[in-house]
Amino acid sequence: MSMAALSGTHLLQNPDHRINNFATHSHHSLVTSIRPTGPTSVRPISIKCAAVPTTTQTNDRPQAQTSSPDRVFNFAPGPATLPETVLKKAESELYVWRDSGMSVMEMSHRGKDFLSIIQKAESDLRTLLDIPEEYHVLFLQGGATTQFAALPLNLCKPEDQVDYVVTGSWGDKAFKEAQKFCTPNVIWSGKSEKYTKIPSFSELDQLQNPHARYLHICSNETIHGVEFKDYPTPKNPNGVLIADMSSNFCSKPVDVSRFGVIYAGAQKNVGPSGVTIVIIRKDLIGNAQDITPVMLDYKIQAENNSLYNTPPCYAIYMCGLVFEDLLEQGGLKEVEKKNKKKAEILYNAIEESNGFYRCPVEKSVRSLMNVPFTLEKSELEGEFIKEAAKEKMVQLKGHRSVGGMRASIYNAMSLAGVEKLVAFMKDFQSRHA
């Protein structure tokens, strides 16, 4: 999602930062061996990094390299790194998909081949999230930002009141867009505390409007790194909970039955940009306002199985490959374990730095996906980002509205990548403390 992706160090475009130049960083002074982390073979390369001894304190041996010497560790907030196995699969069948005689990008969206692709993607997603039968799964366009309008247009009359909990920039954007189509109220905002907290549910119970048509939350704020660990219940017995899950979608199991609508742009955890997934309870569709553009009408999209017009076929295909990969990993419980492990070693490195690194987010709501942190010596942040890029760890600059650094460690970021970052952080601290 856009504001979440404003970060961007681009040092990597400078050939000086490619792996064959590592030996030039003479302040690093230890050689580690390489283990491929993916399916592709890689010729051993030695990397100098004084940080390796510290990382041996963690349970896993460090993997100092991506599976391909041409690849970097990409900590971007989205679009974000994708599983290398998925990219290799896509590469292998880009020109001709199976026995279709054509690329997925050339297939009629009404044809047997693409229908098998989109139906398999939906089926696998239903398995991953254990989505009940009474929910539609839609593959739409326009990002979560389009859903900010579609939700009130489909679920509300202009006079209907709805509640928004604003725990970050995305919740705020969702609220502002809703003002065009219904009567939304911000019942809680973390803005005065720089979006570092999430309210207690008992506090929310006091604040909720008992007549609110829905209660809207952003389950993980990409920019600020605050994440709901559980979900509030609407005070209105006829109201529903709606969550923008763009940046933690499919990062852990979720009880879908607690929500009226879950929506997510794909470009963080489940695919490339260009497709937005909407999971909506079937009884909530069919009452769109007259001014609803047909493409934003959930009833039209559901009746046409997301094929009212030509969908973003290739992006849906890529999501399908990611869903297959998540199932092969053992499903979302296993994925959550990996994500917790990655986040744990990174937050621990921050906590154990004696204040050299700092995370502003209240501990109980720190995101497993987006880890913002600052340096006590803020004047070193530029150097930190520059040196990290030289070590092939890119997109670590924090959002301009927050500053500092941010490591986005979505499903596809390997433990090896996080271990390498932690090793680098400890090494950097040892040299600048």
Cα 75 to its chain centre, rounded Å, is: 11
Residues 148-177 close enough to bind a copy of itself by CB under 8 A: 148-150, 153, 177
Measure Cα distances from 261 to 12, 181, 208, 367 in Å.
39, 17, 18, 21
Q: Minimum Å distance from CB 34 to a copy of itself? A: 16
- CB nearer to a copy of itself: give 198 or 288: 288
113 counts as binding a copy of itself under rule CB under 8 A: yes
What is the distance between the terminal CA atoms of the chain, rounded to a whole angstrom? 35
Query: Kind of pairing, strands 226-227 and 220-221?
Result: antiparallel
Give which of 109, 138, 176 is closest to 319, Cα–Cα.
Answer: 138
216 counts as binding a copy of itself under rule CB under 8 A: no
Give which of 303, 381, 416, 314 is closest to 75, Cα–Cα.
Answer: 416
- CB nearer to a copy of itself: give 64 or 315: 315
Query: Kind of pairing, strands 393-394 and 73-74?
Result: parallel
97, 163, 170, 427: which is the annotated catalytic residue?
170
Binding residue (CB under 8 A) for a copy of itself from 55, 58, 273, 370: 273
105 counts as binding a copy of itself under rule CB under 8 A: yes
Peptide bond into 62 cis (omega under 30): no
Binding residue (CB under 8 A) for a copy of itself from 13, 29, 192, 202: 13
391 counts as binding a copy of itself under rule CB under 8 A: no
Q: Minimum Å distance from CB 59 to a copy of itself? A: 28
Is 268 a known active-site residue? yes
Q: Name residue 344's beta-bridge partners.
A: none
Query: Kind of pairing, strands 261-265 and 240-244?
Result: parallel
Q: Name residue 183's beta-bridge partners.
A: 161
Q: Minimum Å distance from CB 166 to a copy of itself? A: 17
431 counts as binding a copy of itself under rule CB under 8 A: no
377 counts as binding a copy of itself under rule CB under 8 A: no
Query: Looking at residue 354, what DSSP letter applies?
Result: T
Max intra-chain CA distance, the chain: 67
Q: Are 395 and 332 in contact (CB under 8 A)?
A: no
Can you tell me the distance from the alpha carbon of 28 to that of 264, in angstroms, rounded to the nearest whole number?
41
Binding residue (CB under 8 A) for a copy of itself from 23, 31, 106, 382: 106
235, 252, 268, 342: which is the annotated catalytic residue?
268
Residues 329-368 close enough to bind a copy of itself by CB under 8 A: none
12 counts as binding a copy of itself under rule CB under 8 A: yes
Is 113 a known active-site residue? no
Residues 284-323 close enough to bind a copy of itself by CB under 8 A: 290-296, 304, 307-315, 318
Tracing tokens 């490591």 back to the chain, one arrives at 407
401 counts as binding a copy of itself under rule CB under 8 A: no
Residues 59-98 close enough to bind a copy of itself by CB under 8 A: 68, 70-72, 74, 76-82, 84, 87-88, 90-91, 94-96
Is 342 a known active-site residue? no
Q: Using CB under 8 A, which of the segments 3-11, 43-51, 337-345, 360-368 binds a copy of itself?
A: 3-11
Q: Residue 350: helix, strand or coil by DSSP?
A: helix
Measure Cα distances from 226 to 268, 279, 362 in Å.
16, 23, 8
109 counts as binding a copy of itself under rule CB under 8 A: yes
Q: Minimum Å distance from CB 85 to a copy of itself? A: 11
- CB nearer to a copy of itself: give 50 or 275: 275
Contacts of 317 (CB under 8 A, 6+ apart): 90, 104, 117, 121
Q: Minimum Å distance from CB 215 to a copy of itself? A: 22
Other CB atoms within a 10 A radius of the CB of residue 99 amount to 6
Residues 127-146 close enough to bind a copy of itself by CB under 8 A: 141-146
Binding residue (CB under 8 A) for a copy of itself from 48, 216, 235, 392: 392
- CB nearer to a copy of itself: give 169 or 196: 169
Q: Which residues are catalytic?
A: 170, 244, 268
